[in-house]
A and B are shown apart, each in its own frame.
Chain A
Amino acid sequence: MAVGLSAARLTRLRAVPWRWVGLALALVAVLAVPIVVIGAGVLRPAGPSWDHVAGTLLPAYVGNTVILVLGVGVLALVLGVGAAWLVTMTRFPGHRFFSWALVLPLAVPAYMAAYTWAGMLDVTGPVQRLVRTVVPGMSDAFLQWNVMRIEAVVVIFAVVLYPYVFLLSRTLLERRSGSVLESARLLGRSGWSVFFRVGVPLVRPAMAGGVALVLMEVLNDYGAVKYYGVPTFTTGIFRAWFTLGDVDTAIRLSGILMLIVLVLLVLERWQRGDARYSDAGASRFTARYPLRGWRAAGAVAFCATPLVLGFALPVAQLLAWSGRSAGTVVDAGFLVLSLNSFGLAAAAGGLAVAVAVVLAYAARIERGRLTAAATKLALLGYSVPGAVIAVGVLVAVLALDRTVLPGAATLLTATVLALLFAYLVRFMAVAFLSVESGFERVGESVRMASRTAGASPLRTLARVELPLLKGALGAAGILVFVDVLKELPLTLILRPFNFDTLATRAFQLATDEQLAASAPSALMVILTATAVLVVLHRVLANGETG
Chain B
Amino acid sequence: MSAANPARVLSVEGVAKRFGEVPAVRELGLEARDGEIHAVVGRSGCGKSTLLRLIAGLEVPDAGTVRIGDRLVAGGGAWVPPERRGVGMVFQDFGLFPHFTVLENVMYGLADRARPERESRAAEVLRLVSLDGLGGRYPHQLSGGQQQRVALARALAPEPALLLLDEPFSNLDTALKRELRRELGEVLRRAGITTILVVHDAEDVLDLADRVTVMRDGAVLQAGRPGELYESPRDAYVARIFGDANIVECRVVSGGVTTPLGTVECAVGGAPGETVRACIRPEDVQVSRDGPGRPATVRVVAGAGRSVLLELDDGHGTVTARAPEGADLSAGDRVFARVPAACVRLFPGG
Contact = CB atoms under 8 A, between A and B. Distances in A.
B78 interface: yes
A467 interface: yes
Given A446-B95, A464-B97, A468-B99, A451 B81 contact: yes
A15 B111 contact: no
A5 to B, nearest CB: 8
Contact of B91 (A4, A449, A456): A449
A8 B91 CA distance: 27
Given A453-B158, A455-B108, A15 B60 contact: yes
A454 B83 CA distance: 4
B208 interface: no
A445 B93 contact: yes
Interface in A445-477: 445-446, 448-456, 459, 463-464, 467-468
Contacts of B77: 6-7, 10-11, 14
B75 A454 contact: no
A79 B277 CA distance: 68
Interface string A4-24: 111110111011010000000
Contacts, number: 99
A12 B60 contact: yes
* Chain B CB within 10 A, most for which of A8, A17, A449, A451: A449
Contact of B79 (A14, A446, A456): A14
A11 B74 contact: yes
B87 interface: yes
Contacts of A446: 95-98
Contacts of A450: 97, 108
Nearest to A448: B58
Given A11-B61, A468-B98, A451 B74 contact: no
B313 interface: no
B109 interface: yes
A463 to B, nearest CB: 8
Given A453-B108, A456-B83, A8 B56 contact: no
Interface in B59-91: 60-64, 74-79, 81-85, 87-89, 91
A483 B91 CA distance: 40
Given A448-B89, A453-B155, A455-B111, A8 B63 contact: yes
How many residues of B sit at the interface, in one of the four size bands?
35 or more
A452 B97 contact: no
Contacts of A463: 108
B79 A449 contact: no
B17 to A, nearest CB: 11
Nearest to B73: A11
A8 B95 contact: no
A445 B109 CA distance: 15
B314 interface: no
Contacts of A5: 63
Nearest to B82: A451
A450 B112 CA distance: 14
B189 to A, nearest CB: 22
Interface string B93-117: 1111111000000001101100000
B79 A15 contact: yes
B154 interface: yes
B138 to A, nearest CB: 13
A84 to B, nearest CB: 35
Contacts of B63: 4-5, 8
Contacts of A8: 61-64, 75
B94 to A, nearest CB: 7
A451 B61 contact: no
Given A7-B77, A468-B98, A452 B87 contact: yes
B95 A445 contact: yes
Given A12-B60, A445-B93, A452 B83 contact: yes
Contact of B78 (A11, A17, A451, A453): A11
A452 B78 contact: no
B108 A452 contact: no
B72 to A, nearest CB: 10
A11 B95 contact: no
A4 B16 CA distance: 12
* Chain A CB within 10 A, most for which of B60, B87, B112: B60
Interface string A105-135: 0000000000000000000000000000000
A452 B76 contact: no
Interface in A464-494: 464, 467-468
B68 to A, nearest CB: 12
Nearest to B88: A452
A211 B205 CA distance: 56
Contact of A454 (B78, B92, B151, B158): B158
A453 B74 contact: no
B97 A449 contact: yes
Contacts of A443: 93
Contacts of A453: 83, 88, 108-109, 154-155, 158
A4 B94 CA distance: 36
B156 to A, nearest CB: 11
Nearest to A460: B83
Contacts of A464: 97
Contacts of A467: 99
A464 B98 CA distance: 9
Contacts of A11: 60-61, 74-79
Interface in B136-189: 151, 154-155, 158, 164
Contact of A449 (B57, B74, B95, B99): B95
Contacts of A452: 56-58, 82-83, 85, 87-89, 155, 164
A17 B57 CA distance: 12
17 contacts: A8-B63, A8-B64, A10-B77, A11-B75, A446-B98, A448-B56, A448-B89, A448-B91, A449-B91, A450-B108, A451-B83, A452-B85, A453-B108, A453-B154, A453-B158, A454-B83, A467-B99
Given A14-B78, A445-B93, A448-B82, 6 more contacts: A7-B75, A446-B96, A451-B58, A453-B88, A453-B155, A454-B83
Shortest beta-carbon contacts, A-B, top 6: A445-B95, A449-B95, A453-B109, A14-B79, A10-B77, A15-B60
Interface of B: 53, 56-58, 60-64, 74-79, 81-85, 87-89, 91-99, 108-109, 111-112, 151, 154-155, 158, 164
